[in-house]
Chains A and B, each alone.
Chain A
């Protein structure tokens, strides 16, 4: 992380006082209370912030940022703290700016198929607010009860339905963004396209490095007439993968396609007994939605394809309760695996689907070699893998082994033509692996974008980029401060 600024520590009490004037009742400075904010869902990394500020309005956000800008104090934005990549990890000399108290749904406009919400509103709350009228917000990360829409924008989060409906970025119409100076801009609104350069697209997925999202306008979709889920058993994970490719090759894009390996099936069966086939080496859960006639015809087609590539069982839900039950095990996969080992690392690489057999068997070998079990449960439709590495932090050397294995898996994904992260973000977890995917010039170009927004590198510095670059006036040039080559620093 960036070298803490000693002078900021010296000014701590004055800063806390100034913040309390800007956000009365919204400053946490007590050391014990600060412990609650010392990490996000990447719990292996912990750090208490200088102080936490919990504003309730966009004006307060602006005021806090303006103060920090003037005082050259670093700021880390935080939504619900469910990031799996350490994006919301505090800095010892920085303010943690929590947006969770900004949780109002400001407007629901069904005629324009959108909702305007504050950043702290949870993902699920948006759907809950409109489902009565037959609408929903499509991106559905498994963390949707807890994660905030502001965090979703910052991470460009996905979910099981993004094969058909896209990631967060494909479902936004506008945001209000507070820059590090405290100035706020509106990007887009209720129109389908915003004018000028596509700043909305740039800010989405920028992991809190470019600005603080103070309002979001999301696109709503009409709920499909019917959604049915099928549970398909396969004799091997490879055939399950082939089935997914065959379905897509036939021109069919189901709403979701998820694969789970034997290890995970066993874990969820003992956790919540969703009734998955005990004899299958892997299962594919797929969902098809649309009007009733289309759904049943598509499912017939899909079943034909699945049988042809060697499916051993194919069961389709007949009502909503059964559909929920099929999904139950998938949704519990994370928690169920968590029971098997005290600690877990959830990886997130994406690969071209054709590489699935090779990559999965290689992961199996690597897992054996280092002695840490790996569960595979993933978004098969778009090749987004989530290998879950099981370990025990209390065991000497286990964390290092797990991190090394994680890095090796991601390296494998990149070698296979894929990427480091499909939906969880780079954060600090994959920061030092960025050179695997991007050359120095590629990263330098991205860092110049950061300079255009935040030339003093005050907003969430130390995340995403392996080196801290100094911006030169105008954001035009930059200087490297000792880029660290990957092999020497298996940080992950």
Chain B
């Protein structure tokens, strides 16, 4: 397929305007690491943004960084680390083997790829504070600002995060940064059934110890990771300086009144982010549900393997025989939504994202038209006609 690689924002705008004028459609791509996400589409060409690669400005004291959309995430994170900072939402790399191309910052935000820390510090949406973009008519516009507190005009950055490139093509992003913790200490509890594991995480997240990660791995997941012998692992993570994490982890463990061990710099969090225990999954679903619904949703789906994150709010599920319709029905029944994360081309032609009710679907289409009237940008990637 033809790959267009603009070297500047103006060039990107010209290419999109040209596509709009010629009734062509574009697949918007950063590094291409999330190509497997979303519905299968048949664009006329790929608009690849990896040449827009630059850290435009970085002011650690202001907790703000501005980068071009195609800058590799790793490069941005390295720059932050140099000044003892990071992204609060813990960008998730969600990589599938063989190692895919490097994720860019634009793609990471457009996919709303937040990790375990999302449960306390918010998602990609909460950390994007401004951007520049090209809409589907090829017009350049900006939204938001470059300061952390701003309510001037509609909060389009929220809309950008998780829109999978279907509304506009971001060319420059301004993000909020966060102090990087000196260390992390994980409180590990073994052998709880999923019900008790989730209940424990809910108690921990509602406690005063400011943990920044809550995940549960059943035996299958542990075995696939080649970790220790246990029928399950419930992990609660504390970040900060050594004295603080130590005090909080132990006080939390004692409050929860369960036998626990503590692990310094537990690598399991990285493995969870990278979906390492789910690499073999031919079909993988991601469900966002109210924490108390986690156990019910898992039981209803009878998965081969699953991982619970966000204290029960996020489920990664490799379903046995459940069809997309079943998974979406379960997600709805339990008050959440489900997204197909990995699946055959055939599955990806159907509903990948949770189907919308009629009024919301119509509104979503009107919003699409407000940004991309000719349907040039990633048409159909989220929903048919969007």
Contact across chains for B154 and A452 when beta carbons are under 8 A apart: no
Contacts of A430 in B (CB 8 A): 152
Interface digits, A245-261 against B, CB 8 Å rule (1 contact, 0 not)? 10011011100000000
Q: B59 at interface (Cβ–Cβ under 8 A)?
A: yes
Bound complex: CA of A345 vs CA of B63, how far in Å? 30
Q: How far is the CB of A446 from chain B (nearest CB, A)?
A: 5
Question: What CA separation (Å) do A353 and B60 show in the bound complex?
Answer: 11
Question: A193 is contacted by which of B85, B112, B209, B363 (Cβ under 8 Å)?
Answer: B112
Instruction: Pick the residue among A252, A352, A449 that contacts B147 (CB under 8 A).
Output: A352
Given contacts A204-B158, A448-B371, contact A426 B363 (CB under 8 A): no
Judge if B3 is at the interface, Cβ distance under 8 Å.
Answer: no
- Which listed segment binds B: A70-78, A305-313, A316-324, A412-420? A412-420
Contacts beyond the supplied A196-B364, A441-B140: 13 A-B pairs with Cβ under 8 Å: A112-B291, A189-B336, A195-B356, A251-B85, A352-B62, A353-B61, A382-B149, A425-B151, A443-B153, A444-B141, A446-B143, A451-B370, A477-B373
Interface residues of A in 223-270 (CB under 8 A from B): 223-225, 245, 248-249, 251-253
- Residues of A contacting B67 in the complex (Cβ-Cβ under 8 angstroms): none
- B147 with A382: CB separation less than 8 A: yes
Contact with A along B36-74 (1 / 0, CB 8 A): 000000000000000000000001111110000000000
Contact B135 A155 (CB under 8 A): no
**Which of A158, A195, A382, A446 touches B154 (beta carbons < 8 Å)?**
A446
A192 close to B59 (CB less than 8 A): no
A185 to B151, CA, bound (A): 24
B141 touches A442 (CB 8 A): yes
19 CB-based A-B contacts, threshold 8 Å = A134-B208, A189-B290, A193-B123, A194-B288, A197-B162, A198-B112, A201-B157, A248-B63, A249-B60, A291-B244, A294-B244, A352-B146, A353-B61, A422-B150, A439-B141, A441-B139, A449-B156, A449-B370, A453-B363
Interface residues of B in 290-332 (CB under 8 A from A): 290-292, 310, 313-314
The answer to whether A294 and B158 have CB atoms under 8 Å apart is no
Q: Which residues of B contact A464 (CB under 8 A)?
A: 153
Q: Chain A residues in contact with chain B, CB under 8 A?
A: 109-113, 134-135, 155-156, 158, 162, 166-167, 169-170, 179, 183-187, 189-202, 204-206, 222-225, 245, 248-249, 251-253, 290-291, 293-294, 297, 350-354, 379, 382-384, 417-426, 430, 434, 437-439, 441-446, 448-449, 451-453, 464, 474-477
Query: Which residues from chain B contact A253 at a C-beta distance below 8 Å?
Result: 178-179
Say whether B237 faces chain A, with CB atoms less than 8 Å apart: no
Closest to A202 in B: B159
Given contacts A222-B207, A354-B59, A449-B370, A205 and B151 within 8 Å (CB-CB): yes
Contact A223 B147 (CB under 8 A): no
Cβ of B359 within 8 Å of any chain A Cβ, yes or no, is yes
How far, in angstroms, from A294 to B147 measured CA to CA in the complex?
28
Q: Which residues of A contact B189 (CB under 8 A)?
A: none
- In whole Å, how far is A347's beta carbon from the nearest beta carbon of chain B? 13
Q: Interface code B206-218, partner A: CB below 8 Å = 1, 0 otherwise?
A: 1111100000000
Q: Which residue of B is nearest A294, CB measured?
A: B244
Interface set, chain B 337-386, CB cutoff 8 A to A: 337-339, 353-354, 356-357, 359-360, 363-364, 366-367, 369-371, 373, 382-383
Contact of A195 among B153, B207, B288 (CB under 8 A): B288
Residue of A nearest to B63 (CB): A248
Q: Are B248 and A379 in contact (CB under 8 A)?
A: no
**Docked-complex contact B155 and A156, CB < 8 angstroms:** yes
CB distance from A404 to the nearest CB of B (A): 20
Q: How far is the CA of A477 from the CA of B139 in the complex (A)?
A: 12
How many angstroms between the C-alpha atoms of A205 and B152 in the bound complex?
Answer: 9
CA distance A169 to B149 in the complex (A): 11
Return the contact of B84 from the options A110, A167, A251 (Cβ within 8 A).
A251
Specify which chain B residues have a CB less than 8 angstroms from the CB of A443 in the assembled complex.
Answer: 153
Interface residues of B in 183-237 (CB under 8 A from A): 202, 205-210
A170: chain B residues within 8 A (beta carbon): 122, 126
Assess whether A201 is in contact with B150, with CB atoms less than 8 Å apart.
Answer: no
- Nearest chain A CB to B373 CB, angstrom units: 4
How many angstroms from the CA of A197 to the CA of B378 in the assembled complex?
14
| Interface pairs A-B: 8 shortest CB-CB | A201-B158, A195-B337, A251-B179, A190-B290, A476-B373, A452-B366, A195-B354, A448-B370
Which one, A206, A225, A424, A445, contacts B143 given CB within 8 A?
A: A445
- Please, which residues of chain B bring their CB within 8 A of the CB of A474? 366, 369, 373
In the complex, what residues of B have CB within 8 A of residue A162's CB? 149
Given contacts A222-B206, A419-B145, A442-B142, contact A191 B335 (CB under 8 A): yes
Nearest chain A residue, comparing its CB with the CB of B118 = A192
B119 within 8 A of A: yes
A202 touching B59, Cβ below 8 Å: no
Complex contacts, B64 vs chain A, CB 8 Å: 352
Q: How far is the CA of A58 from the CA of B43 in the complex (A)?
A: 43
A293 touching B335 in the complex, CB below 8 Å, given contacts A113-B205, A170-B126, A201-B159: no
- Does chain A have a CB within 8 A of B81? no
Is B156 a contact of A202 with CB atoms below 8 Å? yes
Answer whether residue B161 sits at the interface, using C-beta atoms and an 8 A cutoff. yes
Interface status of B35 (Cβ within 8 A of chain A)? no
Q: Contact between B366 and A205 (Cβ–Cβ < 8 Å)? A: no
Contact of A352 among B59, B119, B141, B206 (CB under 8 A): B59
Residue on A with the closest CB to B135?
Answer: A445
Q: Nearest residue in A to B312 (C-beta to C-beta)?
A: A112
